[in-house]
Structure 1
Amino acid sequence: MNKRAYSSTASERAVTDASLLDSSLFESPKVPKQGKKSNKKKKKDKETAGQKSMTEFISTKENETKQNNTESPSIEKRLDEISAKLSNVLTKSDTDIIKNIIKESLEGITEQLLGSVFKQIEILESNMFDQAKELASLKQQLSAKDQEINILKQSNQSKNQTYEAGINDLEQYGRRNSIRISGLSFDSENQTSIQVAEHTAKMTSHHFNVHLEYKDIDIAHRKYIPNKNRAVIVKFVRRQTKN
């Protein structure tokens, strides 16, 4: 409510009250007819009293209007101050609205975070699944390689046995034409295989009464033992000569 509206309303109320008072004051009561002088005097007295009352009433209303007009600015100022204070105060509905906004914001952020976390979990699960498949495949390959290694080991062992048997047979076959003779003199580190063969043929023919020539010996050498009178290994050209 502004100052002009308030003043206009107060003036209208004063005029209305004055009109009501005028109608009540100036309305002549119905009385029985009397003498002309008496009626004129009474009428004059009543008009004088009515004019006096009307003047006092108007004066009173003007004073009230002035007082109201004087107090109106202070009331309006006070109302403005109260309105300013109330504008800074949150009502319950405002608080509820703010709570709802905060709640919706938090729910949105939570959903986004959960969505990101779930996506990361799905990626990790997918990677783990792929790694598990790869690990299972590697285990199968490792098992197959182990079987191949075992087969190769068995085959190698069998071949080694065969080779060892063949080597042994060859050695035995070679030994069939060979003998070992101990106690032969003239042992020397610098002797060659030819010297050993010649000396062996001569000593054998002399001590054992056996006709043995150098050409019957394929190879002869002393054993590699660091002592004197080392044994001599003699391989004959023919097995019949050995026998």
Structure 2
Amino acid sequence: MTNKKLFYIGFFTAMGCLILGGVIGASVAIFENYFPEGYIVFSYDLLYALLTLGIISLFIFFFKQLISFNNILREKRKMNEDEQGRLLEKTSFKLLYSTSFMIVVSFMWLAIAVGHYKADPPIEQYWYVTITLVFAVLSFLLTGFAQYYAVKIHNKQFPDRKYNIFSPDPQKEYFKQLDEGEKYQTYQASFSVFRKMGFVFCFALGGLLCYGSFVQFHIVPILLVGGLWLTMYIIHYRESKKQYQVS
């Protein structure tokens, strides 16, 4: 990574933090008289609102890609075969990954909602927690159906590289069906993810350190993030060791 890229990353990160801090500060100043306890109904209602907004946004993106996919199929006569195949592959890729994002957000929502429901909330908040749990389950089911439908579309359009979500290891089976060029692109993407996740874990631990130093110290998130970071390197070490043994 060049110094110019590092500068831009640091600059825009700092600007984003300043803008976010200003928005939060202005929101607190404006709404503190209306909501003196910092929330409307429940102490985590803002979190649930953000999760709901995230799911709705991802579903909008999913349907947008689905419409684009159908439009490309309808315009078959207006474009050559190579161009159509490239566009269909790109749109199918976005369809599959949009459902993966939805599953992560839905699972987070479901885990938080189940935790709050099992925590025996007060009677006046019980209805709110119950409704949140119902919507979380509904979101998770709809997300699973969306991914199943996206995989079905992909497999129908690309029968030579089907993705079986019910397989014990669907990623491995799918990878075996790729050609050498596609496998090389996957290797590049995987290495890029590994390298960038190192920066993500580093910044996450740094953020938790600042939070623990100036707000409130919690050891569990630090141990969790550090454990995941260490696990990533252990997995990479084991896989690299296998390659050395083969060679």
TM-score by length of 1: 0.18
> Which of the two has greater strand per residue?
1
Please identify the structure whose Cα radius of gyration is greater. 1
